[in-house]
Structure 1
Amino acid sequence: MQQTQRTLVGVAEHRARVAALIPPTPVERRPVGDCLGLALATDLESPIALPPFDNSAMDGYAVRSVDVATAAPEAPVSLPVAEDIPAGRGDVPPLLPGTAHRIMTGAPVPSGADAVVPVESTDGGVSEVLVRAAARPGAHIRWAGEDVRTGEVVLPAGIGLGPAQLGLAAAVGADRLAVRRPLRVLVLSTGSELVEPGQPLRGGQIYESNGVMLASAVRAAGGTAELLRFVPDDVDAFHRALAPWLDRVDLVLTSGGVSAGAYEVVKEALSGRGVSFHKVAVQPGGPQGLGRYDGGVPVVTLPGNPVSSLVSFEVFVRPALRAAMGFAETERPRRRATLVESLRSVSGKRQYRRGRFDEAAEDTVTVAPVGGPGSHLLSALARANCLLEVPENTTDLPAGSEVTVWLLG
Structure 2
Amino acid sequence: MSFVKRNTVLSARPGRPPAQATRSPEKQQLAPGIRPSPLDGRPTTSTGTSSLDQLLAGHGGLPLGTCLLIEEQGTTDFSGILLRYYAAEGLVQGHNVHPVGYPPEWRHQLPAVAMTDTKSKAAQPPPAPEEKMKIAWRYEALGNAAPADASARADSKNGTFCHAFDLTKRLAPSSCKGSLHPTPSTCPPILDQPNHLSTTSPFKAIIKHLQTKLSTSPLTDIHRIIVPGLLLPTLYSPHCNHPSEVLQFLHSLRALLRQHPSQLTAIITIQTSLYPRTTGLVRWIELLCDGVLELIPLPANPGAPLLPPPASSFSSSASGSEKSEQPQGLLRVHTLPVYHEKGGGGAGASSFRETLAFSLSASRGLVIKPYSLPPLEREGEGQGNGEKKGGGGTDEIEF
User: What TM bracket, shorter-length normalisation?
Assistant: under 0.3
TM-score by length of structure 2 reads 0.24
Relative to its length, the structure with more helix (as a share) is: 2
Structure whose CA Rg is larger: 1
TM-score, structure 1 as length reference? 0.23
Q: Name the structure, 1 or 2, with higher relative contact order (CA <8 Å, separation 6+).
A: 2
